[in-house]
C-alpha cells in the first residue's frame, strides 16, 4: 500500500455511498487524538455506527464479568510474581499490599492488565469509542457491535493460567520500557500508517503476538459477514482498533478479497 490513512472509504456494487472504515486506539493521549470536523461529519451522516462493542458497557455489567467465579486473583501467580505485583502496586498505584489484595483478590487477571496498560499513558487521555458513541447518540445514528463484552473477555479467559499471568507480568515488569513503547505506538498511529502500526505490534512479541490468530485474525474473519450485511443495507461507519486494519489478515485486505474497493481518505 503506497498510501495509508486511519480512514478508508469503502466502495462496491451494493455499498451505500458514504461508508467508511476507521482505525481507533481505545485509549490515547490527547496530543495524538486525531478528530477533525470532517471525521465527525462522516459519523453524523452515517445510518449505522459499527464498533467492536455496541457502546460502552455499564460499570455494573463490566464488574460482573470481571469477577472470578471462584478462587483468587493470586491463584494465577507464583509467590515471587505476587511480590513483584505488590511492589508495582505500591510504586505505580500508590496502594499498600493490604489495600491491593483487598481490591484485586476477587478479580480476573485482565483487570491488572488494564491497570498496567493505563499506566503507560503519561498525559491526559481520550477515547475514540466514547466520542463516536456520543456523536451517534446526538445524531440519532444506530449503534451496532461486532462483539459483546462477554465475547471479548472470553479471549483472555480462554488463555491458560500461565499465559494470563505472563500478560500481567509483561505489563508491570519494565514500566519505563512499556511507557516508551506506548509513546512510539501513538506516534506511528498519528502518522496514520496502518501497516507500520500492524508490523510494530506484530513484532513486539508477548502473548498477544503469540496468540495473534486468536486476538486478531480469527476475529477479523468473523466480523466480515456482519460488515457485509451492514454495508449492503445502510450507510455504514465502522470504527475498530487500528491493529485490526493492517497486515495480511487485516480488515482492509479481507474486504478487498470480498470485492470491495478501499481508498485512504486524508484526515484534515
Structural domain contains residue 116: no
In a 13 Å sphere around the CA of 41, the CA atoms on its Cβ side amount to: 5
pLDDT in tens, 5-15: 999 999 998 89
Structural domain contains residue 74: no
CA distances, 135 to each of 22, 30, 56, 234 (Å) = 15, 18, 13, 18
- pTM metric for this prediction: 0.92
pLDDT in tens, 139-177: 999 999 999 999 999 999 999 999 999 999 988 887 888
The domain total for the chain is 1
Band of residue 133 on the pLDDT scale cut at 50, 70, 90: very high
Structural domain contains residue 73: no
pLDDT at residue 1 in the model? 41
Average pLDDT over residues 195-215: 81
pLDDT at residue 2 in the model? 43
Structural domain contains residue 163: no
Average pLDDT over residues 83-95: 94
Structural domain contains residue 167: no
Average pLDDT over residues 122-126: 88
**Which residues span the domain enclosing 216?**
7-57+124-148+175-265
Average pLDDT over residues 109-134: 92
Structural domain contains residue 169: no
Structural domain contains residue 24: yes
Structural domain contains residue 71: no
Higher model confidence: residue 89 or residue 16? 89
pLDDT at residue 209 in the model? 67
pLDDT in tens, 17-46: 899 999 999 999 999 999 999 999 999 999
Average model confidence (pLDDT) for the chain? 92
Average pLDDT over residues 102-113: 96
pLDDT in tens, 210-232: 788 888 999 999 999 999 999 99
Amino acid at each position: 500500500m503506497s498510501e495509508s490513512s486511519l480512514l478508508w472509504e469503502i466502495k462496491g456494487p451494493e455499498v451505500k455511498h458514504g461508508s467508511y472504515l476507521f482505525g481507533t486506539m481505545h485509549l490515547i493521549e490527547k496530543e495524538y487524538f486525531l478528530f477533525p470536523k470532517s471525521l465527525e461529519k462522516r459519523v453524523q451522516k452515517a445510518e449505522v455506527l459499527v464498533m467492536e462493542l455496541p457502546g460502552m458497557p455499564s460499570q455494573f455489567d463490566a464488574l460482573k464479568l470481571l469477577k472470578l467465579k471462584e478462587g483468587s486473583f493470586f491463584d494465577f501467580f507464583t509467590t515471587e510474581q505476587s511480590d513483584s505485583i505488590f511492589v508495582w502496586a505500591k510504586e505505580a498505584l500508590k496502594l499498600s499490599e493490604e489495600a491491593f489484595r483487598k481490591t484485586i483478590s476477587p478479580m480476573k487477571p485482565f483487570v491488572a492488565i488494564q491497570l498496567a496498560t493505563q499506566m503507560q499513558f503519561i498525559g491526559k487521555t481520550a477515547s475514540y469509542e466514547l466520542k463516536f458513541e456520543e456523536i451517534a447518540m446526538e445524531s440519532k445514528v444506530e449503534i451496532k457491535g461486532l462483539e459483546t463484552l462477554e465475547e471479548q473477555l472470553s479471549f483472555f479467559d480462554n488463555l491458560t493460567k500461565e499465559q494470563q499471568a505472563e500478560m500481567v507480568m509483561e505489563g508491570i515488569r519494565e514500566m519505563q520500557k512499556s511507557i516508551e513503547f506506548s509513546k512510539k505506538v501513538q506516534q506511528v498511529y498519528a502518522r496514520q500508517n496502518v501497516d507500520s502500526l500492524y508490523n510494530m505490534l506484530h513484532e513486539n512479541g508477548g502473548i498477544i503476538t503469540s496468540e495473534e490468530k486468536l486476538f486478531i485474525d480469527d476475529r477479523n474473519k468473523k466480523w466480515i459477514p456482519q460488515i457485509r450485511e451492514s454495508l449492503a443495507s445502510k450507510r455504514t461507519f465502522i470504527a475498530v482498533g487500528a491493529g485490526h486494519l493492517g497486515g495480511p489478515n487485516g480488515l482492509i485486505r479481507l474486504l478487498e478479497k470480498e470485492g470491495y474497493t478501499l481508498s485512504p481518505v486524508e484526515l484534515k
